[in-house]
Structure 1
Amino acid sequence: MDNWAKLLTAVAAVLSAVAWPLALFLTALLFRDALRSAIERIPSMLDRVKTASIAGVQVELERVADAEKKDKAGKVTPNQKEVAARIMVEKNDLGSQPLLKELDRLCLEFDRLRRNLPSGDIRTRAMTRIVVQMRSLSPSLLEFLDTYKGSGSQGSRLAAVAMMQMVPASADPEWLERRFTSDPPFIFYHAALALQNAVDSTDVSEKKKRGIREAVRRALEIVKSFNDTPDYSTIEVLESIIS
């Protein structure tokens, strides 16, 4: 009798072990076409989610640019830092490539504005709008800083400046100093802001700050020596660093 009980218990255990796998197998067999279709749709569903996320980033960039459009000084604001932090979270799902494409689009847009619009307030406001959006992307793409620093495009070099503005510890004083001899006033004004942010940052060593102040003194001499009217906004920023 005990043997029969043990046998029945063993059989029940076996049936219990195979029941769920068998049920799943039969379900998959019966609904294989529907399952195959659902699996095939997964990549396109993920693409739609990613597209929606990219659209969300673009909306964030437009909003921050709209919010800062009255700020003629064009300095980094807490709002820009908040948007940059949100985009860094989005990067976890999107990866770097969609954000790089967006930054490259802004670089090309800057170059286009420089070519096609005459110098004046309208062009300056349009270019400031671009640099505000670049800043919001910059912390997420800091690993590509050297690529943008080495570019022949003014827009790409502006993107590198924006990265240094947002992450002062990444500031390269010698490279920023060269902006005052090889780039237009809009870019070297923002180079001055990057140098100012680095001097004000607690993340930058005192040794590096001393080197920055030396670079600022040389940059100030360059700007004041221009034959045409010097850029007084840049002079004001540079003088505030060494005062």
Structure 2
Amino acid sequence: MPHRTVQHDEVETVKVPDRLRDLCEAYDQTREDMVPGTARTRKMTAIFEEMKTQAPLAQASLREFKVHESAGFRLAAIAILQVFPSKDDLKWLAKCLDPNVEKPFVGYHAAVALAQAVRSLSMSDCSLLHSEVARALALAKLNPDDPPRIQTLEYALKELAVKCSTKKGQRDGDPDHLSNRRRIAER
């Protein structure tokens, strides 16, 4: 697949697949040209889904995309993180829920990426996951007129509670775990 070189002042030069560059530009153009509504959301969603198919080819560009001035490139970073969750990028994803930083469409997909991280990352990351998903939820609530972002994050916190509560009972030497064992043995 042909590549073009993309440069940014703060980041070294990286190769971006032409198809992904086109999708980033198509997202930006769609936001600019279409009036808000169902048709625009549907088109932006189709672009985002196609971005996810390009994620394996674009992982090396993640750092560049995260700091890009174009919302389309930042959305591509989120697409990569939905496909390949990374604990190193949780803080950045949470920040994307700030309505003063990103538009609701980008924020929603950042919320989905955080929910995917909850499902995919190790139980040893529970503390970091909890703090960043909770921070993202607080930021999402700054725009109460967009319930899908809020609901996605609330559900992610519920999933995280289940995932991380299992961890507590499985640790050797955990007093709750030992007392449960004793109760079972006494029956």
Aligned pairs for 1:86-97 within 5 A: 94=1
3-state DSSP of counterpart to 2:86: helix
3-state DSSP of counterpart to 1:180: coil
Say which structure is richer in helix: 1
Q: Which runs of 5+ in 2 are unaligned?
A: 5-14, 159-187
Whether 1:133 and 2:65 are equivalent positions in the alignment is no
Task: Identify if the C-alpha distance between structure 1 residues 168 and 102 changes in structure 2 by more than 3 Å, giving closer, same or farther.
Answer: same
Task: Identify if the C-alpha distance between structure 1 residues 146 and 140 changes in structure 2 by more than 3 Å, giving closer, same or farther.
Answer: same
CA–CA distance in 1 between the matches of 2:123 and 2:103? Answer: 30
Aligned pairs for 1:114-133 within 5 A: 114-133=31-50
User: Please, which moves more after superposition, 165-174 or 188-197?
Assistant: 165-174
Task: Identify if the C-alpha distance between structure 1 residues 171 and 190 changes in structure 2 by more than 3 Å, giving closer, same or farther.
Answer: farther
Give the match for residue 187 of structure 1. 106
Aligned pairs for 1:1-243 within 5 A: 94=1, 100-169=17-86, 172-181=89-98, 182-201=101-120, 204-226=121-143, 229-243=144-158
Q: For each residue in 1:163-207, what CA deviation from the matched residue of structure 2 results, as whole angstroms up to 9, or x when unmatched?
A: 000112366111111111200000010000101111101xx2223
Cα displacement (A) at 1:217: 1.0
Kept in 2: contact 1:164–1:171 (CA 8 A)? no
* Normalised TM-score (structure 1): 0.56
3-state DSSP of counterpart to 1:152: coil
Kept in 2: contact 1:171–1:194 (CA 8 A)? no
Instruction: Report the aligned-residue RMSD.
Output: 1.8
Cα displacement (A) at 1:130: 0.2
The amino acid of 1:239's aligned partner reads: E
